[in-house]
Structure 1
Amino acid sequence: MDRRAFNDLYAFTVVARHRSFTKAAAQMGMSQSALSQTVRNLEEALGVRLLTRSTRSVAPTEAGGRLLSRLGPQFEDMQDALDELNEIRDTPRGTIRISAGEHAAVAGIQPKLASFLAEYPDVEVEVLIDGGMIDIVADGFDAGVRFGRQVARDMVSVRISADVTMAVVGAPAYFGRHPMPSAPEDLTAHRCIRTRLPTHGEIFSWPLEKDGETRRVRIEGPAVFNSLSMRVTSALDGVGLTFVPLDQVEAHLAAGRLLPVLADWWPVWEGYHIYYPSRRQHSLAFRVLIDTLRHR
């Protein structure tokens, strides 16, 4: 097999796994049009259609699926063999890609990242903020960070943060116009700053807890943000009440810029975990990063 045919087959497996020319092209560092032409040339050379293309998706044909099932593991083994060469090196090096929610990145990764990067200058860490429950393997990530209760059981999971207390807060200016809630159900009459869940598209209802009892409150309000910083800023501006991690508003509470609401109902969630597939041979750089992030 010549080198070009080998490269074309590898390109096909990347597209077939991602089911997207866009994502595959990004992983391979080439243009989408060039990748599409590469796969088309392979199909012409083999005399069989490997992919079914539409305006929104790409999927392997029956022949493509069979080829992928044979070639995919072979290319994975070769990648693992190349990754194992890093074990020979004394210094960790390489790129580590992590998917994380906004607060998970801020609270779980960022506090330890500066010292790690200073100690290991040959390692590059790429953190992409995404609140949805993605498939880290299909999307080309080495690991993801989510709350412990959200991690799939087939993944290796390492805790990287303490438990997270969620707080309901509002500005003094807001309470100059509205009464202070005394029970969770009172929130339904207030203007609240809401969040849309990225995976299902629903508005997040606030789960408040007290003495083992949970009440999930459906709130209404004038603004919907998927940005943590925008929710905090809008609360400071008096737009309405918001439900955010306590560590993001502690300074504002201490200074009186925000006031606690129903503090005895604030839930405590299990801390963040970094998770990754167990079947992969992980690089030395990846293992050192996991140990650095580990919550102690």
Structure 2
Amino acid sequence: MLRENIQDLIALAAVAEERSFTRAAARLNVSQSALSHTIKGLEQRLGLRLLTRTTRSVAPTLEGEDLLATLNPCLEKIEARLHALNASQGAPSGTVRIVGVEYAIESLLWPKLSPVLKEYPDVKVEFVMDYGYTDLAESQCDAGVRYGDQVSDGMIAMRIGPDERMICVGAPAYFDVAGTPEVPQDLTGHQCINLRLTNHGALYAWEFEDKDCTEIRVKVQGQAVFNTINPVLRAAKDGHGLALVPERLAQGHLDSGALRLCLEEYCPYFPGFHLYYPSRQRPSSAFGVVLDALREKS
């Protein structure tokens, strides 16, 4: 590309976005006649008509739309990078909204980001608790947290925690009365504490694997149903039945003897929590600080 074309292309993008030579000229801090001359010169060099002009408005031609479809993403990347470089010269600032399940927020996000908030007083983090597959654009969130095998295509995913597994636990008093299941199918004869997913209203499916890595799904029943995981764990500790919970969440209670593990050989590991965000996420100094703090250190 000829060097003189760069400013002309920026001018073209401004006119197309503003749909007005007057507004675009004010935005670029040039005269309207100079801007018109610039666009005419670009069209002459390319041998194409890029804008359709009327007395009331300006709009790109088909050729103009085609050029802008390539041009605008490039300009956005350059602008975003310059913004990030400029922001890095001063103290990080801004707000980052992250959506995730309660367990991820409490066990990973908050422990890692609490020191960040103390170190950078101009950085704000808003935590949004949701068990559904939240659309980041609709929820106006900058990033979300999901297990690694649940991240949608087209998203950048960054590991923020170790591999996880869901384990089946219960209070010793419950096992003393009801016995211990030997295989997942035995759970149909036990009181189980269910988790209802908010994204589609269904009960969380209890999933296991046998030694041949064959998936086993069991539909369990019980008296208590919750829509967040911490009350499920509490109900299990209180002896109301068996619960399927993240191992790290239950580990302290296993160590103390308040809970006992069963069906361990049927509980497989899977990819742990990942932070995900759009591939065209506009970086900010605050977002960069959050990414660095959450990144899983080897």
Task: Provide the rounded CA distance (Å) in 1 between the counterparts of 2:256 and 2:123.
Answer: 39
Task: Provide the rounded CA distance (Å) in 2 between the counterparts of 1:278 and 1:205.
Answer: 31
Give ranges in structure 2 of 5+ residues lacking alignment. Answer: 1-71
The equivalences for 1:235-246 within 5 A come to 235-246=236-247
Task: Provide the rounded CA distance (Å) in 2 between the counterparts of 1:268 and 1:225.
Answer: 24
Letter in structure 1 aligned against 2:214: E
Task: Provide the rounded CA distance (Å) in 1 between the counterparts of 2:281 and 2:268.
Answer: 36
Task: Provide the rounded CA distance (Å) in 1 between the counterparts of 2:184 and 2:282.
Answer: 48
Q: 2:279: which partner in 1?
A: 278
Q: 1:190: which partner in 2?
A: 190
Residue deviations 1:182-219 (CA, integer Å, cap 9, x gap): 11100011000001122221111211123212211111
Q: 1:25: which partner in 2?
A: none
Q: 1:148: which partner in 2?
A: 148
Q: 2:158: which partner in 1?
A: 158
1:268 maps to 2:266: no
Residue deviations 1:99-147 (CA, integer Å, cap 9, x gap): 1111121233122112211221210111110010111112111111111
Residue deviations 1:82-111 (CA, integer Å, cap 9, x gap): x93762641100111111111121233122
Task: Provide the rounded CA distance (Å) in 2 between the counterparts of 1:281 and 1:84.
Answer: 9
| TM-score, with structure 2 as normaliser | 0.70
SS in 2 for 1:115: helix
Q: 1:111: which partner in 2?
A: 111
Contact 1:207 1:267 in 2 (8 A): no
The equivalences for 1:1-40 within 5 A come to none
SS in 2 for 1:268: coil
The equivalences for 1:33-72 within 5 A come to none
Higher alpha-carbon deviation: 105-114 or 249-258: 105-114
Q: Taking every aligned residue pair, what percent have the same amino acid on both sides?
A: 42
Letter in structure 1 aligned against 2:271: E
SS in 2 for 1:176: helix
Q: 2:43: which partner in 1?
A: none
Task: Provide the rounded CA distance (Å) in 1 between the counterparts of 2:271 and 2:210.
Answer: 16
1:220: Cα distance to partner?
0.6
How many pairs does the alignment contain? 222
Task: Provide the rounded CA distance (Å) in 2 between the counterparts of 1:105 and 1:206.
Answer: 22
Task: Provide the rounded CA distance (Å) in 1 between the counterparts of 2:279 and 2:152.
Answer: 12
Q: 1:84: which partner in 2?
A: 83
Give ranges in structure 1 of 5+ residues lacking alignment. Answer: 1-72
SS in 1 for 2:223: strand
Residue deviations 1:232-274 (CA, integer Å, cap 9, x gap): 1100110110000011111111121111111111121211111
Q: 1:249: which partner in 2?
A: 250
Contact 2:195 2:229 in 1 (8 A): no
1:149: Cα distance to partner?
1.1
SS in 2 for 1:274: strand
Task: Provide the rounded CA distance (Å) in 2 between the counterparts of 1:124 and 1:210.
Answer: 45
Letter in structure 2 aligned against 1:235: A
| TM-score, with structure 1 as normaliser | 0.70
Higher alpha-carbon deviation: 85-94 or 207-216: 85-94
Task: Provide the rounded CA distance (Å) in 1 between the counterparts of 2:164 and 2:88.
Answer: 39
Contact 1:84 1:281 in 2 (8 A): no
Residue deviations 1:19-43 (CA, integer Å, cap 9, x gap): xxxxxxxxxxxxxxxxxxxxxxxxx
Residue deviations 1:43-85 (CA, integer Å, cap 9, x gap): xxxxxxxxxxxxxxxxxxxxxxxxxxxxxx9xxx7xx77x937
Q: 1:227: which partner in 2?
A: 228
Task: Provide the rounded CA distance (Å) in 2 between the counterparts of 1:192 and 1:256.
Answer: 19
1:164: Cα distance to partner?
0.9
Task: Provide the rounded CA distance (Å) in 2 between the counterparts of 1:224 and 1:267.
Answer: 24
Runs of 4+ deviating beyond 4 Å: none
Task: Provide the rounded CA distance (Å) in 2 between the counterparts of 1:137 and 1:92.
Answer: 23
Backbone CA RMSD of aligned residues:
2.3
1:93 maps to 2:57: no
Task: Provide the rounded CA distance (Å) in 2 between the counterparts of 1:283 and 1:210.
Answer: 46
Higher alpha-carbon deviation: 259-268 or 85-94: 85-94
Task: Provide the rounded CA distance (Å) in 2 between the counterparts of 1:275 and 1:266.
Answer: 26
Task: Provide the rounded CA distance (Å) in 2 between the counterparts of 1:117 and 1:204.
Answer: 34
Task: Provide the rounded CA distance (Å) in 1 between the counterparts of 2:197 and 2:282.
Answer: 33
Task: Provide the rounded CA distance (Å) in 2 between the counterparts of 1:136 and 1:278.
Answer: 12
Contact 1:105 1:129 in 2 (8 A): yes
